[in-house]
């Protein structure tokens, strides 16, 4: 089972909410996106990757671990 780590660059994040609209793993707090579960498996990759791709400032990074 492949695992991934999700991180958000808070300096880039503009809090638009696109990620939270696509994946329940993201929420907007204090005007910035926050990831609820920073480590995911293949099962959750698709929606989280879609959320990352929708980010207009590319603040979300997903890496294999």
Q: How many domains does the chain have?
A: 1
Please check whether residue 7 is in contact with residue 35, taking contact to mean a CB–CB distance below 8 angstroms. Answer: yes
14 closest CA partner among 27, 33, 29? 33
Domain of 51, CATH number, reads 3.30.70.20
For each of the chain's 65 residues, which pLDDT tens digit applies?
A: 889 999 999 999 999 999 999 999 999 999 999 999 999 999 999 999 999 999 999 999 999 99
Determine the pLDDT at residue 25: 98
pTM of the model: 0.92
**Domain span including residue 35:** 3-64
Determine the pLDDT at residue 59: 98
């Amino acid at each position: 089972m492949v695992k991934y780590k999700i991180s958000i660059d808070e300096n880039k994040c503009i809090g638009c909410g696109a990620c939270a609209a696509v994946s329940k793993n993201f929420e907007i707090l204090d005007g910035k996106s926050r990831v609820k579960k920073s480590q995911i498996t293949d099962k959750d990759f698709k929606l989280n990757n879609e959320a990352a791709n929708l980010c207009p400032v590319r603040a979300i990074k997903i890496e294999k671990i």
